[in-house]
Amino acid sequence: MADPILEVKNLHVHFETHDGTAEVINGIDFSIDRGETAALVGETGCGKSVTVKSIMGLLPSATIPEGEIRYKGEDVLSLSDAERHSRRGKEMSMIMQDPMTSLNPVLTVGEQMMDVLKWQGRPRLSLSKLVRDALSTGAKAEHRKRAIEMLGEVEISAPERVFESYPVELSGGMRQRVLIAIALLSEPDLLIADEPGTALDVTTEAKVLDLLDELVEERDTSVLYITHDLGVAREVSDRINVMYAGEIVEQAPTVDLFANPQHPYTRGLLESIPTLSTGIGDGIEGHLPDYTNPPAGCRFADRCPHAEAACHEAYPYPRRTGPDHATACHLFDGLPARERHESLAADPVDIGTAPWLAGGGDAPGDISADGGTDQ
């Protein structure tokens, strides 16, 4: 936590709906150090996208009644729209989730990249700049060179051809590479990756993830990685924040989290990863709570196999359960709770031989063997 590039403190995000106020993000805290890759993991609808859009300032319809988002120490929520706009793309950029829909279908890849180089951070279209751009062939050639160079960096073998192509002429993997290239064009310090590769087949996804890993390593870019897949998070991230229903229920370094998954939800997620030995897991019963009328206590209580009366009444503040490990669960209250947790931990999470472990080198048993006992 020495030098955080991004700190999110007690962030609340609300939406006004016909059924009342939806309290979608309910006080989350996390931070990303410079050069670190942090993952935000949770099921669809848990508020991951809302969180990153709040960070990017791309949620005009939301209200943020409480909380702070600090980027390089600066409270971005207090900045004007223009100031936030000037930072988008340049300071923090985003790789979109779906390569099929995230490129403009009617413009060539090259034109979209040139637009980012030309217009990034500018408040509006200006006629004088349009005229100047049309006249200056030098700047145009330079932008073109830069764009093609970037396409080369994402390991596209014929960058000139792709530059002239329309998105419809490219494969999904190719488009995902183009999205990465565009996001990195202005060399942002913070990159938000919203499930890149999820829409691709597994082998293409693996290649794209490896590539992304290399690119951010070279540039020392900090990454906030959004995924619903703990397996992917394990591959790419240094630190994992597990999110459930607008709250972060567990956060720990990746190694710690897999060695010692604590929150019942995290354990449920691990169990629901399909494995070769046990097949598709049971998953977690039930649904996300209603955001317009959230439970008073723990938002996971209704689905939690270990829930007690107290869980439905009192809000579970995050407990520090290790030197760098926090879990928001009543099971970690006081000694009796700890005993209960130990009995819970004694029941190992069988993550079997998950496909994503194949390259990781860990024996599958490592994770479940001593889960929780040393906290």
Partner 1 sequence: MSYVDYLVRRAIHSVPVIFGLSVLIFLISRVIPGDPVRLALGPEATEQQVATLRAEMGLDQPLPMQYADWLFGVVQGDWGMSLRTNNNVFSDIVARLPATLELTVVTLFFAVLLAIPFGVVAGTNKDRWQDHLSRITALFGVSMPRFWVAIVLQIVFVVSLGLLPLSGRLSDGVAPPPAVTNLYLVDSLIAGQFGTFLDAATHLLLPTVALGLATLAQVMRLIRSDMIDEQRKDYVLAARAYGLPNTLIEYKYMLQNAFTSSLTVVGLAFGFLLGNAFLVEIVFAWPGMARYGVQAILYQDFNAIVGVTIVVGIGFVTANFVVDLLYGYLDPRVRLEEG
Closest approach, Cβ 119 to partner 1, in A, equals: 5
Closest approach, Cβ 366 to partner 1, in A, equals: 38
Nearest to 321 by CA among 370, 265, 365, 261: 261
Closest approach, Cβ 62 to partner 1, in A, equals: 14
For partner 1, the closer of residues 147 and 354 by Cβ is 147
Closest approach, Cβ 261 to partner 1, in A, equals: 32
> Measuring CA to CA, how many Å separate 15 from each of 19, 70, 287?
10, 22, 20
For partner 1, the closer of residues 179 and 216 by Cβ is 179
Closest approach, Cβ 84 to partner 1, in A, equals: 9
> Measuring CA to CA, how many Å separate 105 from each of 108, 111, 116, 169, 179?
8, 11, 16, 10, 13
For partner 1, the closer of residues 12 and 118 by Cβ is 118
3-state DSSP assignment of residue 308: coil
> Measuring CA to CA, how many Å separate 62 from each of 22, 93, 139?
10, 20, 39
- 8 Å CB contact between 95 and 178: no
Closest approach, Cβ 112 to partner 1, in A, equals: 8
Closest approach, Cβ 271 to partner 1, in A, equals: 32
For partner 1, the closer of residues 32 and 351 by Cβ is 32
- The amino acid that residue 77 corresponds to is L
For partner 1, the closer of residues 10 and 101 by Cβ is 101
Interface ranges with partner 1 (CB under 8 A)? 56, 58, 85-90, 93-94, 96-98, 101-108, 115-116, 119-125, 166, 168-169, 179, 182-183, 185-186, 192
For partner 1, the closer of residues 82 and 158 by Cβ is 82
For partner 1, the closer of residues 53 and 312 by Cβ is 53
- 8 Å CB contact between 215 and 154: yes
Tokens 């979209």 belong to residue: 112
Closest approach, Cβ 303 to partner 1, in A, equals: 30
- Whether the CA torsion 206, 209, 214, 217 is positive or negative: it is negative
- 8 Å CB contact between 55 and 41: no
For partner 1, the closer of residues 104 and 277 by Cβ is 104
Residue 154 CB partners (closer than 8 Å, separation 6+): 177, 178, 180, 181, 184, 211, 215
167 token code pair: 């998105």
